[in-house]
Structure 1
Amino acid sequence: MSRAEWAAVEDDERELLEDNNLLERRPSRKSVSRRPDERTALLDGPEDDGPEVDAKWDEAVVAGRIQTTWKREVAVLSRYSRSLIVTFVLQYSLTMASIFTVGHIGKVELGAVSLATMTANITGFSVYQGLATSLDTLCAQAYGSGRKSLVGLQLQRMVYFLWLVTIPIGAIWLSGTWILKAIVPETRTAELAGLYLKIILLGAPGYAAFESGKRFVQAQGKFEATLYVLLFCAPFNAFLNWFLVWHMELGFIGAPIAVAITDTLLPLCLLLYVYTQPDTRACWPGFTRRALHNWGPMIRLALPGLVMVLAEFLAFEILTLAASWLSSTHLAAQSVLSTLTALTFQIPFPMSIAASTRIANLIGATLGSAAKTAAGVALCAAVFVGLFNAVLLSALRNYVPRLFTEDEGVIALVAAVLPLCAAFQLFDALTANCNGILRGLGRQEVGGYVNLFAYYVIAMPLSFYTAFGAPQWGLYGLWAGPALALGIVAAIEGVFIYRLSWEGAVEDARKRNAEDHR
């Protein structure tokens, strides 16, 4: 580690020891390193108590005497989350920019970009995100256990794996027009959506590398890294959409060109950040052939993570396909609703990433009890965020739709269904954070099974029955199923986490790290 990293780790260990009355409380480094003034003693300075802290820490960990506090975990979760929330909102704005720009061309174009985005999410972007969630466990636990070179090794493996997965994804996107024509009744909509998919394929390898790189820096607590990247790339993407669609008069085709350029730029900017940060670069062991071997532990965690993410993604995107069978107005309204609910999801989901990183770090450091406290803080924060999102969507239901379209029929339909979307925001936030806790523990398979059951055994049949069956609730009925599914997932995963053996999770992490350290 660098001198700054050792100082940060030592400060954190000292504060935990002081909180547990295992070490005499002393001024922090920050308080004793301030600029001297006339009141500062000439010989005043921090004492070098590193060896004492290390000895006390090792002794306390072995004895199981290290406990954290809710106040400390609230501060940590807040510090981790604030950058991540802005980061994920900015990243989602890359998609929203296309919807905003194209939506004002016409109703057919709005439906087409929604359909294309849905297909890209189901068959590509959510696949990358789901598989990369294994790094939330592998990289964070490796970093928490002090094995820094293992963090970069896991990154290399994931990038190669995702690039390999891009081959079948590309085949699907290149066949997008033919596939969508067989599903969607409106030919023009399917043609435009298929064209969109062909163009954004050029940026898919870059997106895959960026999703892996995000986990690499987040595992080290460098949550501001992706924020800096997106503070540049998100406005640039919005400018590109305007410039290509309206200024260059390329129309619909300008939006996917902007997406492909931005997706390629994202990992390059993140690489530049890592290169300029010695502390972060220290986790990169250099290119090694070891990255081509021992993919088993990664894939065993990646596949359940994929199911956990894709199950929810796919369920909501199936609603978009179903809405296309109602009318073009319903499809456009569904585009607005899915965009709004996805935007509100950009608050609890980053919080779940922060929680999974913190919990995995504590598990890697063999602090099971502290990880349990961190999980409790994450769930309480989820309740607050869920209620906030519910109030926000309800209050703005008559105003927000006008930002997306000028069609009065679409605006009225969105305003009518939005209260239902607001009602399940609490369950959505709880589900996101339960999934994050499971990732931090390396128990992605639990979330995968629960999501599959809730969405495809209960939610989807209910949605199609209430939308197209006897009740004939239309778009309102389509959203009834996922609302119920989110409540079921939150309840089942919450009970599992409550009854979990945290010391068993510590032992599992120790074995997993030892397997890759041999």
Structure 2
Amino acid sequence: MDTKIHICEGQLGSVNARRNFMSKGFKIHSRVGLASACDTLISQTFGGGNHFRIGVILQQAILILLLACFPCWAILINTEPILLAVKQEPEIAKLAQSYVKIFMPALPLALEHLKNPLDELKEATFMFSLQIRYLQNQGIIWPQVITGLVANILNALINYIVIFVLNWGVTGSAVASCLSEFIMVAILSAYIIYKGIHKATWGGWSRACLQDWGVYLHLAIPSMVMMCVEWWTYEIGSFLAGLISEVELGAQSVVLLWANIAYMFPMGFSIAGSVRVGNALGAGNTDQAKLCAKVTMFGAGFVSVCLAILIGGLHSHISYVFTYDEQIRQRVSDIMTFYAPFIILDATAAACGSIIRGAGKQKIGALAYFVGFYGIGFPIGVPLMFAAKMGIKGLWAGLFICIFIQCIFMVVYMVRMNWEKATTEAQIRAGAGEASEGAQFAGGEWDVLELVPEPSAEDKIPHTALVLRRGLALAAMIFILAVGIIVNVIVQNMIV
């Protein structure tokens, strides 16, 4: 019985599936998690009017995410032994390792790269992710949309040439993806420079980018938890589904694909909500921040209700997009009937998470996600999956309960949140007192802010000592990479 879905065929499909299982979690936590601190810092700083500080924040993000590449490299270089350890096919594990090694030079640019043309076309690179946040938190959206479309078209063309014309196979796919990353970042960088978008915010590289890493990391690490916990839950769920049967794995894959598609629609409201809430708080406009939060919740909720009705009504037919296998289709139909209301809860949780990021309350979001998925969802879903013999329907039942409780907690938290205190924290975080002009409030009136943050502990450290600290951080990351290389050499010798 052939249970492969259409978008994952042959050698490339198998390698891509293993590569995703192996590396996506590490890529996501660096690209989305660590970069998500910019959703708070840049949006609030832009709202506070301290525009040149945005450039410093971007520099901090670049340095921190570059350091994050080293542990990623240390893990990815051991892709083959890790895949073998979880009982993957030796040939596929070797091909996946080859793919990853070829792609590794693009990792500083790409921590969630463009797929081959048989896969869904997606955004996303490391630097491109930072560029997106740099622009969107200033209210600039269309350049990155157009750049992403152009880069995806070029990526498809390059993949076609290297895979079907030159017959490079997996190697060609890796080379094409690597080239696509550089093209995407280069196009958007050229646009930013050509239009002079950077002039108002970029004052050149500054020593200030070595300061206040603690502020950035205190936001980035909880953001990483928020992003990774949910993603890892779905990845582990797919792995567990594969332990039951190929039908369960195939059905889980189709459900997750539709879940990703459904998530894209309310995500637009979530992104806009994070930006607008951050802008308003940085500008000192508490009422505007509250209004933006309400609009975000309403917009995401309305779209998700429409999607839930559509997907629920078409539950018997939507699996045809990905497979004709009757057993998988029947299983997908059963899950989709149950999954439709989950869309509403997932969109609500995403909207709440974006508002929390805009307000700089990531620790609360991280707590809600971690306890929700690993304290409630998994402990309920896994026993239902195996002991109750419900399969992936049991897993989704556990996740449904998790998201339901999570939504209640986060909505109640936002209603009871001290928005005035959040506004004060945002203005301090934005360095509003350093701005040459105050923030613009509703009604077009300008006010000079006297709010000056207390100097952090790092501000009191001499520059030489600060450089030494950052140098030690770099040395530690290089050491981690060296350990990964040594482990790889030892394991490879054992395999041979």
1:366 matched to 2:269? The reply is no
Is 1:389 matched with 2:389? no
C-alpha spacing 1:414/1:111, structure 2 compared with 1 (3 Å): farther
Which residue does the alignment assign to 2:121? none
Cα drift, residue 259 of structure 1: 2.8
The reply on whether 1:416 has 2:334 as its aligned counterpart is: yes
Cα separation, partners in 2 of 1:125 and 1:248, compared to 1, 3 Å: farther
Query: What is the match of residue 429 of structure 1?
Result: 347
Structure 1 gap segments, 5+ residues each: 1-98
2:250 is the alignment partner of 1:345 = no
Other-structure match for 2:394: 477
Q: Distance in 1 between matches of 2:149 and 2:405?
A: 37
The secondary structure found in structure 1 opposite 2:32 is helix
Structure 1 residue 160: deviation in Å?
1.1
Does the 8 Å contact 1:126/1:313 carry over to 2? no
Aligned letter for 2:202? W
The 8 Å contact of residues 102 and 255 in structure 1, kept in 2 or not, is answered as no
Is 1:130 the equivalent of 2:48? Answer: no
Aligned to 1:176: 79
When residues 514 and 271 of structure 1 are mapped into structure 2, their CA distance, relative to the original with a 3 A threshold, is same
Distance 2:326 2:13 in 1: 14
Aligned in 2, Cα 1:250/1:401: closer, same or farther, shift over 3 Å?
farther
Alpha-carbon distance change, 389 to 114 in structure 1, aligned in 2, over 3 angstroms: farther
The equivalent position to 1:269 in structure 2, one of 169, 182, 187, is: 187
Task: Give the equivalent residue in structure 2 for 1:324.
Answer: 242
2:431 alignment partner in structure 1 = 514
Tell me the residue number matched to 2:380.
Answer: 462
- Listed as ranges, the matches of 1:147-158 within 5 Å are 147-158=50-61
Separation in 2, partners of 1:369, 1:405: 49
Identify which range, 120-129 or 411-420, moves more after superposition.
Answer: 411-420
Match of 1:198 in 2: 101
CA distance in 2, matches of 1:405, 1:251: 24
**Offset from partner CA, 1:355-398 (integer Å, 9 cap, x none):** 01101111111000111111111111121121122123234444
Query: Residues 261 and 393 (structure 1 numbering): CA distance in 2 closer, same or farther, change over 3 Å?
Result: farther
- Judge conservation of contact 2:223–2:362 (CA < 8 Å) in 1: yes
Q: Distance in 1 between matches of 2:20 and 2:69?
A: 17
Match of 2:9 among 80, 89, 104: 104
User: Could you tell me how far 1:211 is from its partner in structure 2?
Assistant: 1.2
Question: Which of 66, 71, 74 matches 1:163?
Answer: 66
Aligned CA distance change for structure 1 residues 137 and 392 (closer, same or farther; 3 Å): same
Which deviates further from its counterpart, 293-302 or 185-194? Answer: 185-194
Shift of 1:252: 4.5
C-alpha displacement of 1:219 = 1.4
Q: Deviations along 1:203-252, whole A, 9 cap, x unmatched? A: 32112211111110011100112102112012222333444344443444
Are the structure 2 counterparts of residues 152 and 460 from structure 1 closer, same or farther at C-alpha, using a change threshold of 3 Å?
same
Instruction: Give the letter for the 2:25 counterpart.
Output: I
Letter in 1 for 2:395: L
Q: CA deviation at 1:262?
A: 2.1
Partner Cα distance (1:130, 1:216) in 2: 15
Q: Partners in 2 of 1:156 and 1:489 — Cα distance?
A: 34
Q: Distance in 1 between matches of 2:386 and 2:329?
A: 22
Structure 1 pair 398–255 and aligned structure 2 pair: CA distance change class (3 A): farther
How far off is 1:110 after superposition? Answer: 4.0
Alignment of 1:227-242 (within 5 A): 227-242=145-160
1:32-181 map, 5 Å: 103-105=8-10, 110=13, 112-181=15-84
2:204 matched to 1:301? no
Counterparts of 1:306 and 1:272, CA distance in 2 = 29
Match of 1:401 in 2: 319
Q: Is the 8 A contact 1:454 1:488 kept in 2?
A: yes
Q: Is the 8 A contact 2:108 2:126 kept in 1?
A: yes
In 2, Cα distance between equivalents of 1:449 and 1:111: 35
3-state secondary structure, aligned to 2:10? coil
Separation of aligned partners in 1, 2:391 and 2:15: 20
CA deviation after TM superposition for structure 1 residue 158, in Å: 0.3
Q: Out of 201, 207, 215, which is 1:283 matched to?
A: 201
**How far, CA to CA, are the matches of 2:334 and 2:106 in structure 1?**
37
Do the aligned residues in 1 keep the contact of 2:28 with 2:227 (CA within 8 Å)? no
- Deviation of 1:191 (Å): 4.3
Whether contact under 8 Å (1:115, 1:321) holds in the other structure is: no
Q: 1:115 to 1:461 in 2, by over 3 A?
A: farther
Change (3 A) 1:448 1:185: same
The one-letter code of the counterpart of 1:211 is S
Residue identity in the other structure for 1:337 = V
Q: 1:41 maps to what in 2? A: none
Work out the CA distance in 1 between the residues paired with 2:45 and 2:277.
Answer: 12
Instruction: Tell me whether 1:249 sits opposite 2:170 in the alignment.
Output: no
Between the aligned residues of both structures, percent identity stands at 28
Q: Secondary structure at the match of 2:320?
A: helix
Map 1:10-29 → 2, pairs under 5 A:
none
List alignment gaps of at least 5 residues for structure 2.
110-124, 435-454, 456-496
Query: Which residue number corresponds to residue 499 of structure 1?
Result: 416
Partner of 1:89: none
> How big is each residue's C-alpha offset from its partner over 1:142-183, in whole Å with a ceiling of 9 and x where there is no partner?
111111111111111101111110110111111112112222
Q: Which moved more, 1:250-259 or 1:499-508?
A: 250-259
1:459 Cα deviation after fit: 0.7
Q: Aligned letter for 2:154?
A: F
Amino acid at match of 1:313: W
Taking the aligned partners of 1:463 and 1:254, their CA distance within structure 2 comes to 40
Structure 2 residue 137 is matched with structure 1 residue 219: yes
Distance in 1, Cα, partners of 2:315 & 2:169: 29
Q: Judge conservation of contact 1:185–1:324 (CA < 8 Å) in 2.
A: no
- Aligned-residue Cα RMSD (Å) equals 2.4
Distance of 2:158 and 2:330 partners within structure 1: 31
Q: Is the 8 A contact 1:383 1:429 kept in 2?
A: yes
Report if the CA contact (8 A) 2:28-2:228 is conserved: no
Question: Distance between the aligned counterparts of 1:343 and 1:399, measured in 2?
Answer: 16
CA contact (8 A) 2:33 2:220 kept: yes
